[in-house]
Every structure is written in structure tokens, then in C-alpha cells.
């Protein structure tokens, strides 16, 4: 069976997992932790990063490369807009989520949740610094882009939404929410994201794993 290497708490692994679940692609998860990789993992993922993907045709690393491949190979239930301009805008949001949101929102999660899981001391001063100096810029940009209703490209959740949602899931686990008074459009959009059945199911699975409600 096709294999997704990684752990669902990793935002980039969860991004691929959501694509697999929404597209209903058969797969199994092979748990690989970022700091404890099995021998030979570099053959599947040259930089040793998660997620990685293996099926009858390919071994692939990089969440975006994997998701584009899944879309090309399994075009039913499309997760990108069809027109070139829309698809380009969707790819921009995915790039923004992976390279701008992840280092900011992901660090809050890493400090407050991942480090706690590894019995390492949490650097709460670092978290506060991020919340005060870096998070607002991201929220201001997303507030300017958030759709008034539905998702970024209409009624269906697509890769652009998934890429943003996976970061907000981890931010939520770390106890940080979007303030509706300050960012009304973004807060409402994030609420819609987190209530989408596939996303809500991921959050519930995470909470089982984390032992929280």
C-alpha cells in the first residue's frame, strides 16, 4: 500500500494527510519523527525531512511536491482551481503557508507542545516575542486575503485552504486563537476551516494523541 512517512502532528505531514483523506486515496502512515529517523530514510527523503511519500510509481519528499503529484495522478475531487490564474493564486497561498506561516505559527507550537512532549524546557519568552512581533504581520496579510464566505476558491476546501488550516490547527493546540475583534474576516474564515469535517476529524485525532479535550 502507498505510504505516507511522518506524524500527523507535523503541519506539513497533516497537509498531505488531509489531501489524501479528502481525495479518498488509500494509504498507510509510517510514523517517522523529525528527530528520530529510521536508517536509510534518506533514500526516500534526500534531506531527511517529513513528509515523504512512496507508492508504486514514485518516492517523493516535500509536501507541495507530494500534493501536486496526488492532484496530477488522482484528478477526481480536485484540490486546485482549474484555470491557470486561479491555480497560480492557490499555489501562492500554499507557498505563503509553508514558508511564512510555518516558521511563525509552527515555532509557537514547537515551543509549547512539541518541547513539552520531549520533556524540554519551554522558552515562553520566545513565544511571547513571536506573538507580539511576528504573528500580527501574518494575520494582517491573511485578513486582507480571507474570503467573505466559504473558502478561498469557493464552496470546496482546496489545497490553499488546507495549507493555511494545518498551521492554524497547531496554533490552536498551542492555545492561541484569532481575535475576532481585531481580525474579523480571518477569524470567521479560520472558524470555517476548523469546522470542515475533514479538518475537525484531524483535530479530534490530534487531541486523542495529545490527551487533551
Q: Which residues bind a copy of itself (CB under 8 A)?
A: 46-47, 57-58, 60-62, 64-66, 68-69, 72-73, 84-85, 87-89, 91-92, 95-96, 100, 141
33 vs 100, beta carbon nearer a copy of itself:
100
Query: How far is residue 60's CA from residue 4's CA, in Å, rounded to a whole number?
Result: 10
The minimum distance between CB 164 and a copy of itself, in angstroms, equals 14
The minimum distance between CB 95 and a copy of itself, in angstroms, equals 5
The minimum distance between CB 204 and a copy of itself, in angstroms, equals 31
130's grid cell: 513571536
Q: How do beta strands 3-5 and 52-54 pair?
A: antiparallel
The minimum distance between CB 23 and a copy of itself, in angstroms, equals 13
Query: How far is residue 101's CA from residue 22's CA, in Å, rounded to a whole number?
Result: 23
Residue 136, phi-psi category: left (phi > 0), alpha (psi -120 to 50), beta (remainder) = alpha
What 3 state SS string does 37-89 have? CCCCHHHCCCCCCCCEEECCCCEEECHHHHHHHHHHHCCCCCCCCCCHHHHHH
- Round the CA-based radius of gyration of the chain to a whole number and report it: 17
Give which of 160, 145, 148 is closest to 86, Cα–Cα: 160
Residue 119, phi-psi category: left (phi > 0), alpha (psi -120 to 50), beta (remainder) = left
88 vs 204, beta carbon nearer a copy of itself:
88
84 vs 155, beta carbon nearer a copy of itself:
84
87 vs 202, beta carbon nearer a copy of itself:
87
142 vs 199, beta carbon nearer a copy of itself:
142
The minimum distance between CB 29 and a copy of itself, in angstroms, equals 20
DSSP-derived secondary structure letter, 28: E
The minimum distance between CB 98 and a copy of itself, in angstroms, equals 10
67 vs 127, beta carbon nearer a copy of itself:
67
Amino acid at each position: 500500500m502507498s505510504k505516507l512517512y511522518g506524524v500527523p502532528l507535523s503541519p506539513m505531514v497533516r497537509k498531505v494527510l488531509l489531501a489524501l483523506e479528502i481525495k479518498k486515496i488509500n494509504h498507510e502512515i509510517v510514523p517517522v519523527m523529525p528527530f528520530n529517523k529510521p536508517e536509510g530514510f534518506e533514500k526516500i527523503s534526500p534531506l531527511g525531512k517529513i513528509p515523504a511519500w512512496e507508492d508504486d510509481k514514485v518516492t517523493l519528499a516535500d509536501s507541495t511536491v507530494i500534493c501536486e503529484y496526488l492532484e496530477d495522478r488522482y484528478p477526481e475531487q480536485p484540490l486546485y482551481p482549474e484555470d491557470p490564474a486561479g491555480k497560480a493564486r492557490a499555489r501562492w497561498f500554499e507557498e505563503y503557508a509553508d514558508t511564512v506561516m510555518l516558521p511563525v505559527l509552527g515555532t509557537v507550537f514547537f515551543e509549547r507542545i512539541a518541547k513539552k512532549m520531549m520533556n524540554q524546557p519551554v522558552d515562553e519568552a520566545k513565544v511571547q516575542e513571536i506573538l507580539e512581533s511576528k504573528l500580527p504581520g501574518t494575520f494582517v496579510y491573511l485578513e486582507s486575503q480571507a474570503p467573505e464566505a466559504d473558502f478561498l476558491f469557493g464552496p470546496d476546501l482546496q489545497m490553499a485552504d488546507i495549507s493555511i488550516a494545518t498551521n492554524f490547527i497547531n496554533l490552536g493546540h498551542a492555545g492561541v486563537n484569532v481575535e475576532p475583534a481585531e481580525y474579523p474576516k480571518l477569524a470567521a474564515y479560520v472558524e470555517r476551516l476548523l469546522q470542515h469535517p475533514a479538518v475537525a476529524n484531524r483535530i479530534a485525532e490530534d487531541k486523542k494523541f495529545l490527551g487533551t479535550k
